[in-house]
Amino acid sequence: MTDITDAEQAEIDRATASGRPVVVFVHGLWLLSSSWDPWRELFEANGYATIAPGWPDDPPGVEEAREHPEVFAKKMVQQVTDHYLAAMSELPAKPAVIGHSFGGLIAQKIAGEGAAAVTVAIDNAPFRGVLPLPASSIKSAFPVLGNPANRGKAVALTFDQFTYGWANNLDEDEARTLYETYHVPAAGAPLFQAVVANVNPFASNEITADTRNPDRGPLLIVAGAEDNTVPLAITRATFHQQEKNPGVTEIVEVEGRGHSLTIDHGWRDVAQPALDFVRRFLPAG
């Protein structure tokens, strides 16, 4: 069990008191939970309550995160997953879970625990059994993986690195705005865990999603077709692993979109199919 912050507890209490079905948002590396604010407004306008816990010890805002990057260091995937499971355990019913990047991996780990009513994984980081490791993905992760000491550190991206990994389909002005608005340092450990998940027994335990659990529930995988960080080879391989589950498993490929697809000008084009999928399996009344 992990500690729930006062702010997270307040969100859980509000969601519970609303009587509405709940959607849990899970962010990935280089973002904070506030990056989900436009999505939360959309889902709440459509009859849902929402919560967006942070990763353990996340600062409350971008400015504080940049001033104290050390708080992100050494975060491990299972530790973060357990934090979300702890928050979800206080809800009165299974929620929908939506995650992006490493949050998409964590969302699938949660689903594999049978804890989600319906799950949407967007440009998810790979888990054990997802074998493709495209060159663009390695290049995107190289600012972290290029130095083994980064396993125990927090690493910020330069603007050029952010542009390649996240904003390769945006003009420079929008890329700069997103970088200045959302980008924060990120733990190096999860990337090292993911890259060796298929060969390292310890890492594989952390980077494993139970794709066969019959209680996994419906799952939608959303893929940005031009993502350098999580290319289609990874999301398609994820789908092929997950479609062996007896539950509903679907994939949507969004043309012309990179890794910034949840926060850039076209976020609604990604949020709408996610909302439609959640509605099918967890109606808002």
pLDDT digits (tens, 9 = 90+) for 43-94: 999 999 999 999 999 999 999 999 999 999 989 999 999 999 999 999 999 9
The residues spanned by each domain of the chain are: 6-281
Q: Extract the runs of DSSP E, i.e. beta strands, from the chain.
A: 22-26, 49-51, 96-100, 118-122, 154-155, 186-187, 219-224, 249-254
DSSP 264: S
Whole-angstrom CA distances from 272 to 46, 107, 217, 262 are 11, 18, 20, 11
Share of the chain above pLDDT 70, in %: 97
Fold of the CATH domain 6-281:
Rossmann fold (3.40.50)
Q: Which residues contact 252 (CB under 8 A, 6 or more apart)?
A: 220, 221, 222, 223, 273
Mind listing the pLDDT tens digit for each residue in 240-277? 999 999 999 999 999 999 999 999 999 999 999 999 99
